[in-house]
């Protein structure tokens, strides 16, 4: 399997800024097997995973439900202790020095908030200012930057429970960055957001990574997040690392397909065009599947030249489909 390693400026291989060496996490679970009876079972949530992420990289960490993504992130923050292997973040062993590490990392869980529900947004930030003992000047500078880039100005005095999901998510991202962390873990930061909010979050993360060199590990079910933000993606399934490389390579391995949705001026028979096939027609709207590794631009040009095209959009394949194709490929090779 292809693995990227960290290369130090002197030219040799150095330990990654985030470094996992055969890390494991096994949970002991009790399963009821009858009245007053239960059985002990072990769940291997993370199974001998090794990877290195260099400082300043923005990496996608994807996989189906229950694959082991959140467990990995919890070990990287020190919330969970690995059952085996070696793990370091910025040279720190997270489970041994959780408090020291907290000063250097930021975490955003899309499904949960770290903000105080009943307080205005700004009060949560003030509390974090104290909790993290952020020097006043640095706090003011970081807050100003986040307020500007995440468009939070009008929201600072609004209680968190009154914010929309997209506003709350931007508020949470700012909260994770007030203490200037070198690493940001994002677990589903765009889940449930509308198109405009997703675009704002992605734009901000791109800016953060480019301007501040923040190392980002991004967990998502939305492959568009990965496509727009990460040059490198790691795929985990059943606790094991299945792939580590560029997203295009993943599409090639899985021979996955993207979908082009086109709106025509009127109802027409299925479009006939090279390297794509119509999979659905509904009135003047048609859906075409085409290889995910190919650019959509020449396909769109061919359709526009031959058909009365009004509008279009491209949808990425879902992660589950890509991964099941990877398995099919393995089974037949
Ligand atoms: N505290 C726990 N006790 C027992 N089993 C757990 C615990 N936490 C996670 N697991 C199990 O470990 C496996 C991996 O779970 P994990 O939450 O890491 O997956 P995930 O990839 O984050 O999934 P999702 O995308 O659904 O959030 C699952 O089988 C889950 O049931």
Looking at domain 18-34+42-251, its CATH superfamily turns out to be: P-loop containing nucleotide triphosphate hydrolases (3.40.50.300)
For residue 120, CA distances in Å to 29, 106, 138, 174, 289 come to: 40, 21, 21, 14, 46
Residue ranges of domains in the chain: 18-34+42-251, 257-316
The best mutation among 41, 44, 45, 79 to test binding of ligand 1, ranked by most ligand atoms within 8 Å of the C-beta, falls on 45
pLDDT of 283 strictly over 80: yes
Q: pLDDT by residue (tens digit) across 81-95?
A: 999 999 999 999 999
pTM of the model: 0.78
The pLDDT of residue 1: 45
Q: Rg (Cα) of the chain, in Å, rounded? A: 23
Instruction: State whether the beta carbon of 70 lies less than 6 angstroms from ligand 1.
Output: yes
Q: Are 254 and 323 in contact (CB under 8 A)?
A: yes
Q: Quote the distance between the C-alpha of residue 187 and its chain's center.
A: 6
Residue 262's nearest CA partner among 306, 298, 316, 311 is: 311
Distance between CA atoms of residues 262 and 259, nearest Å: 10
301: buried, middle or exposed (CB in 10 Å: 19+, 13-18, 0-12)? Answer: exposed
Q: What is the mean pLDDT of residues 123-148?
A: 92
Average pLDDT over residues 130-146: 92
First vs last C-alpha separation in the chain: 15
Residue from 66, 82, 218, 236 whose mutation best tests the ligand 1 pocket (most atoms within 8 A of CB): 66
With a 6 Å cutoff on the Cβ, whether 63 touches ligand 1 is: yes
Find out whether the beta carbon of 66 lies less than 6 Å from any atom of ligand 1: yes
Other CB atoms within 10 Å distance of the CB of residue 48: 15
User: Is residue 11 scored above 80 in pLDDT?
Assistant: no
**pLDDT in the model for residue 196:** 85
User: What is residue 328's predicted lDDT score, i.e. its pLDDT?
Assistant: 67
């Amino acid at each position: 399997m292809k693995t990227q390693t960290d290369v130090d400026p002197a030219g040799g291989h150095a330990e990654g800024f985030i470094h996992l060496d055969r890390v494991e996490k096994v949970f002991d679970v009790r399963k009821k097997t009858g009245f007053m009876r239960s059985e002990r079972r072990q769940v291997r949530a993370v199974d001998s995973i090794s990877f290195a992420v260099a400082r300043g990289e923005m990496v996608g960490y994807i996989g189906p439900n229950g694959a082991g993504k959140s467990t990995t992130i919890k070990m990287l923050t020190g919330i969970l202790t690995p059952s085996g292997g070696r793990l370091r973040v910025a040279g720190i062993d997270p489970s041994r020095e959780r408090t020291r590490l907290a000063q250097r990392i930021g975490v955003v869980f899309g499904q949960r908030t770290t903000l105080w529900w009943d307080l205005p947004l700004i009060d949560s930030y003030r509390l974090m200012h104290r909790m993290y003992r952020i020097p006043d000047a640095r706090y003011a500078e970081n807050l100003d930057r986040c307020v500007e880039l995440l468009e939070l100005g009008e929201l600072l005095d609004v209680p968190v429970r009154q914010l929309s999901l997209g506003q709350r998510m931007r508020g949470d991202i700012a909260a994770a960055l007030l203490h200037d962390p070198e690493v940001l873990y994002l677990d589903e930061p765009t889940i449930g957001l509308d198109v405009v909010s997703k675009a704002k979050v992605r734009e901000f993360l791109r800016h953060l990574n480019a301007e501040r060199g923040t190392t980002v590990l991004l967990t998502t079910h939305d492959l568009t997040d990965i496509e727009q933000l990460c040059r490198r993606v790691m795929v985990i399934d059943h606790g094991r690392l299945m792939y580590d490389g560029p997203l295009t390579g993943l599409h090639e391995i899985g021979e996955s397909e993207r979908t082009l949705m086109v709106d025509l001026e009127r109802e027409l028979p299925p479009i006939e065009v090279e390297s794509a096939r119509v999979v659905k027609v509904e009135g003047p709207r048609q859906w075409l599947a085409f290889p995910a590794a190919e650019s959509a631009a020449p396909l769109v040009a061919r359709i526009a030249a031959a058909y009365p095209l009004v509008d279009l959009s491209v949808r990425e394949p879902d992660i589950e489909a890509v991964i099941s194709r990877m398995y099919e490929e393995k089974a037949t090779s």
